């Protein structure tokens, strides 16, 4: 009825383009609202990250320092080697319990030399030391039997309550019902601080040491668990990378596209989404119960994590291979290269940065995994020594970093809780450096077409 | 190239591992209550002997005994820790899998305490209070009715009107059974509910009726008042920290390490301590055990030495490190020591 052009002309606003009409205003408002939502979302994310990091840092940094008591100990021949023959087998017969008197007399001596006044009995004084002190002495004597009869200066760990007192976690109020420490012992600790015998310093043993039992949280370290994680990662790298890359090259470059490869493809994607605990059960059934591999061994842990990491590596490798333009392959084939030459000489080098990134991210994921380890015996009290050979590292029982953190978090003494947070810091440092490496590799070598 | 080498080296080690015999460290699993004691012993064992430090896992008494009963051989555990006696059913399951000779070792006693937030109300319980608080049905005017209690004041007029909220160990823990036997069942009998249930119980024999009544006694309410904790005591502690009304069930040793956060309740007027448990005054205590596979002695190096060391006077005695951590030492420790030295198995000499 009405002419369209005329109509438009009539309705069109006769105002400047610089003044906004209602509809434009609404659209602009919607856009700025959306930007605001986005910023709020990012803000919430950042806030969470900051809260997480500050909590971890504030709770965990304490684990890196530890309270030590420095004392001179007389290694009495009458207690340690009655026969006087310096026969190592006989010296070994003296258990850690036999070393307690030496520590008691060392305290008496310290009190005397520093002229301190205290009513405490030497047994009560000795209680401020860690239970590890006796074994520290014994290990020293067994390593240096010729030192028996000498007076040696030792640096012992103080027990977790004294350490907590130095760190402010334990106060005179909080120990009102505590039977493990008394205010009189804390007074004695104050005296030791004055004469400089008791100090809080950086504790390397937390980073390189082994786990300790519930009675001596002060002696626990994450080092051996770190080695466990390292050996597991070696297994994962040595198995998952070649298998994963071979599988993806075949699927991407050689395999015919038919229903069989389709099924394989779907299943790989499905496997990537399978909860990790499932791989743990599989590991228990196949590797331990059927193949009779040892329990609690990093080798088994590594095999289980390999199963878990494979799909991740295959998917990222295939994506990296796909990203190499077909023109490269065509050119190689055009100048007479075989299909395999084209892949290995031209496609694979170009896809390598992507493959490496995927592998590193897969490894980082495996490094933080705890659930499958639960079923193959890698979570628990596993205070093994540092492995000396590769075989021992793979086969002797060990824990892993996240498993160690979980184990510490559930123990009774609050001092273990601090160590759990400290362990998280170390684990995070590993994860961040691995991810940074992945980003750097990608930045440095990736080519875009 | 190097990747290929590593891979083949790995494959070789894997094969070597399968063929190489004899695991050289003792493998222990079971009760999370026994775990701290077992790890203290394992650590001292590793320090004082030339054997490697045993591996101790937790997971609960039932879970540990289940793994223990999986069979004989290197890929099964050598020792199961339990905070209760092994059941006939479990002995049978063990026997079916070929685990016939089991050495039972009692290491001492452990108290179960009821504790709440340090700044909250203090309580003086009797088993009756707990039965009235948590049971599914209680006796009102001679009739069993669904538990109507909402606050502790409803349970006992002397208590403050604090909402009922209990965090008790889940069914896979041995602690749960002791809680049911020594607290809920005792309360059930004290209130007279047991007799009513027994009269109404169905069953062919007296024994079956008795069992049915007991089962009815210990069925707990499911309306959220009683929460099963399947994890460890640290989880119970975290629950209490987030819900100040909550009362938790803990092991004595755990409470003694957390006296700055928890206050302990008395039971029938007795404050729990190693002394009151040793004399038997404090009613809620239970023996702790570990079970050793005799077939593994002589196969796994250090197994017998570990078992003997665990109950040696210097470890499990009154002045030993276990007692210091909270274990109530066993007055009959010497008998246990001889039994272990003789490798006396379950059911042979009793």
A396/B25 touch (CB, cutoff 8 Å), yes or no: yes
Q: What is the mean pLDDT of the segment spanning B293-320?
A: 91
**CA–CA distances in Å: residue B167 to residues A148, B186, B235, B237, B261:** 54, 19, 10, 9, 16
Q: Based on the fold, state whether residues A89 and A121 are members of the same structural domain.
A: yes
- pLDDT on residue A11: 60
Q: What is the mean pLDDT of the segment spanning A281-308?
A: 89
Q: What is the mean pLDDT of the segment spanning B83-93?
A: 90
Interface A-B: count of C-beta contacts within 8 A? 148
Same fold, B2-109+286-341 and B111-285: yes
Q: Smallest Cα–Cα separation from A309: which of A376, A374, A403, A236?
A: A236
Range of the domain at A277: 223-445
Q: Based on the fold, state whether residues A319 and A439 are members of the same structural domain.
A: yes
A381/B35 touch (CB, cutoff 8 Å), yes or no: yes
Q: Based on the fold, state whether residues A155 and A279 are members of the same structural domain.
A: no
Return the biggest CA–CA distance within chain B: 84
Q: What is the mean pLDDT of the segment spanning B145-157?
A: 89
Q: What is the mean pLDDT of the segment spanning A333-352?
A: 93
Q: Based on the fold, state whether residues A193 and A250 are members of the same structural domain.
A: no
- B positions 47-106 inside 8 Å of A (CB): 47-48, 50, 52-53, 55-58, 73-75, 77
Count of C-beta atoms within a 10 Å radius of residue A196: 9
Identify all chain B residues contacting A92, using CB atoms and an 8 Å cutoff: 50
Q: Is residue A336 part of a domain?
A: yes
Q: Based on the fold, state whether residues A360 and A436 are members of the same structural domain.
A: yes
Q: Which CATH superfamily is domain B2-109+286-341 in?
A: Periplasmic binding protein-like II (3.40.190.10)
CATH of the domain at A332: 1.10.3720.10
Q: Is residue A344 part of a domain?
A: yes
Q: Is residue A214 part of a domain?
A: no
Q: Based on the fold, state whether residues A379 and A328 are members of the same structural domain.
A: yes
Q: Is residue A26 part of a domain?
A: no
On the question of pLDDT at B106 being above 60, the answer is yes
Q: Is residue A327 part of a domain?
A: yes
Cβ contact B177:B84 at 8 Å? yes
Looking from the CA of A5 toward its CB, the CA atoms found within 13 Å total 0
Q: Which residue among A202, A236, A266 closes a domain?
A: A202
A364-379 pLDDT, tens per residue? 999 999 889 988 888 8
On the question of pLDDT at A164 being above 70, the answer is yes
Structure tokens at A421: 């947070």
Read out DSSP for A269-325? HHHHTS-HHHHHHHHIIIIIIIT-PPTT-HHHHHHHHHHHHHHHHHHHHHHHHHHS-
Identify all chain A residues contacting B235, using CB atoms and an 8 Å cutoff: 410
Structure tokens at A189: 């600790």
Q: What is the DSSP letter of A369?
A: -
Q: Based on the fold, state whether residues A238 and A107 are members of the same structural domain.
A: no
Residue to test with chain A: of B241, B257, B300, most A Cβ within 10 A = B257
Q: Is residue A238 part of a domain?
A: yes
What whole-number percentage of chain A has pLDDT above 70?
96
Look at the block and give the residue holding tokens 């009869």.
A149
Q: Based on the fold, state whether residues A260 and A383 are members of the same structural domain.
A: yes
- pLDDT on residue B21: 46
How many domains, in total, are found in chain A? 2
- For residue A284, report the phi and psi dihedrals to the nearest 5 degrees: -60, -45
Q: Based on the fold, state whether residues A243 and A188 are members of the same structural domain.
A: no
A110-135 pLDDT, tens per residue? 888 888 888 888 888 888 999 899 98
* Band of residue A386 on the pLDDT scale cut at 50, 70, 90: confident
Identify all chain A residues contacting B13, using CB atoms and an 8 Å cutoff: 299, 390-391, 394-395
On the question of pLDDT at B179 being above 80, the answer is yes
DSSP-H helix ranges across A195-289: 204-208, 223-249, 259-272, 276-283
**CA–CA distances in Å: residue A119 to residues A122, A171, A176, A183, A420:** 9, 21, 20, 12, 37
Domain boundaries of chain B, sorted by first residue: 2-109+286-341, 111-285
Q: Based on the fold, state whether residues A362 and A431 are members of the same structural domain.
A: yes
Q: Is residue A92 part of a domain?
A: yes
Residue B173, class by beta-carbon neighbours within 10 Å (0-12 exposed, 13-18 middle, 19+ buried)? buried
CA atoms of B328 and B286, how far apart (whole Å): 10
Q: Based on the fold, state whether residues A257 and A402 are members of the same structural domain.
A: yes
CA A26 from centroid of its chain's CA atoms? 51
B40/A409 touch (CB, cutoff 8 Å), yes or no: no
Q: Is residue A5 part of a domain?
A: no
B190-234 pLDDT, tens per residue? 888 888 888 888 778 888 888 888 888 888 988 888 999 888 888
Q: What is the pTM of this model?
A: 0.84
At the topology level, CATH places domain B111-285 in D-Maltodextrin-Binding Protein; domain 2 (3.40.190)
Q: Based on the fold, state whether residues A275 and A366 are members of the same structural domain.
A: yes
């Amino acid at each position: 009825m009405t002419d369209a052009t005329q109509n438009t002309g009539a309705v069109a606003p006769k105002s400047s383009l610089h003044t906004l009409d209602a509809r434009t205003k609404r659209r602009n408002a919607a856009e700025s609202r959306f930007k605001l939502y986005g910023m709020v979302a990012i803000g919430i994310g950042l806030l969470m990250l900051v809260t997480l990091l500050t909590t971890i840092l504030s709770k965990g940094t304490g684990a890196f320092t530890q309270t030590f008591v420095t004392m001179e100990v007389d290694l009495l021949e009458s207690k340690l080697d009655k026969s006087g023959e310096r026969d190592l087998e006989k010296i070994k017969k003296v258990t850690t319990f036999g070393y307690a008197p030496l520590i008691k007399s060392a305290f008496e001596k310290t009190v005397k030399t520093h002229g301190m006044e205290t009513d405490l009995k030497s047994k009560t004084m000795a209680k401020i030391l860690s239970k590890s002190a006796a074994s520290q002495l014994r290990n020293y004597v067994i390593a240096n039997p010729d030192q028996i009869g000498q007076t040696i200066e030792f640096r012992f760990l103080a027990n977790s309550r004294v350490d907590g007192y130095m760190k402010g976690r334990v106060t005179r109020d909080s120990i009102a019902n505590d039977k493990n420490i008394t205010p009189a012992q804390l007074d004695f600790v104050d005296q030791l601080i004055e004469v400089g015998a008791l100090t809080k310093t950086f504790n390397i043993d937390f980073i390189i040491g082994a786990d300790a039992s519930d009675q001596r949280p002060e002696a626990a370290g994450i080092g051996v668990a770190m080695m466990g994680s390292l050996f597991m990662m070696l297994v994962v790298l040595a198995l998952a990378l070649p298998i994963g890359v071979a599988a993806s090259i075949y699927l991407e470059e050689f395999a015919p596209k038919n229903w069989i490869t389709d099924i394989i493809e779907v299943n790989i994607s499905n496997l990537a989404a399978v909860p990790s605990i499932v791989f743990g059960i599989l590991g228990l059934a196949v590797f331990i119960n059927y193949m009779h591999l040892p329990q609690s061994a990093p080798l088994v842990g590594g095999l289980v994590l390999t199963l878990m990491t494979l799909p991740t590596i295959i998917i990222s490798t295939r994506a990296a291979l796909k990203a190499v333009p077909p023109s490269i392959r065509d050119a190689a084939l055009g100048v007479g290269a075989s299909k395999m030459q084209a892949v290995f000489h031209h496609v694979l080098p170009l896809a390598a940065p992507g493959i490496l990134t995927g592998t590193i991210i897969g490894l980082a994921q495996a490094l933080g995994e705890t659930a499958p380890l639960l079923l193959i015996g890698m979570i628990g009290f596993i205070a093994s020594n540092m492995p000396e050979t590769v075989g021992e590292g793979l086969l002797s029982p060990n824990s892993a970093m996240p498993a160690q953190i979980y184990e510490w978090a559930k123990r009774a003494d609050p001092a273990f809780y601090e160590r759990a947070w400290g362990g998280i810091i170390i684990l995070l440092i590993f994860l961040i450096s691995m991810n940074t490496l992945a980003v750097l590799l990608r930045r440095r070598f990736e080519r875009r077409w | 190239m190097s990747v290929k080498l590593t891979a083949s080296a790995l494959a070789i080690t894997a094969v070597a591992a399968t063929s190489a015999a004899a695991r050289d460290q003792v493998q222990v699993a079971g009760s999370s209550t026994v775990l701290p004691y077992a790890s203290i012993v394992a650590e001292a064992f590793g320090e004082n002997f030339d054997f490697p430090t045993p591996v101790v896992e937790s997971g609960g008494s039932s879970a540990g005994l289940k793994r223990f009963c999986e069979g004989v051989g290197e890929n099964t555990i050598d020792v199961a820790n339990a905070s209760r006696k092994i059941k006939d059913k479990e002995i049978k399951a063990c026997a079916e899998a070929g685990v016939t000779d089991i050495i039972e070792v009692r290491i001492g006693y452990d108290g179960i305490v009821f504790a709440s937030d340090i700044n909250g109300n203090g309580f003086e319980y009797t088993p009756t209070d707990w039965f009235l608080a948590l049971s599914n049905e209680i006796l009102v005017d001679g009739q069993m009715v669904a538990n109507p209690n909402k606050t502790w004041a409803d349970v006992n007029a002397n208590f403050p009107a604090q909402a009922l909220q209990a965090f008790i160990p889940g069914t896979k823990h041995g602690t749960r059974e002791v809680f049911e036997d020594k607290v809920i069942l005792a309360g059930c009998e004290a209130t007279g509910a047991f007799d009513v249930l027994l009269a109404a119980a169905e069953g062919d024999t007296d024994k079956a009726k008795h069992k049915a009544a007991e089962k009815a006694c210990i069925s707990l309410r499911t309306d959220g008042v009683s929460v099963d904790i399947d994890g460890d005591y640290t989880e119970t502690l975290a629950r209490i920290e987030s819900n100040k009304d909550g009362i938790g069930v803990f092991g004595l040793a755990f409470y003694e390490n957390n006296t700055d956060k928890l206050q302990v309740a008395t039971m029938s007027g007795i404050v729990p301590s190693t002394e009151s448990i040793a004399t038997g005054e404090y009613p809620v205590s239970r023996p702790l055990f570990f079970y050793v596979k005799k077939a593994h002695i002589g196969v796994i190096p250090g197994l017998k030495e570990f078992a003997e060391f665990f109950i040696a006077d210097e470890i499990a005695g009154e002045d030993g490190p276990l007692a210091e951590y909270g274990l109530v030492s066993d007055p009959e420790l010497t008998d246990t020591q001889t039994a272990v030295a003789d490798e006396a198995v379950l059911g042979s000499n009793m």
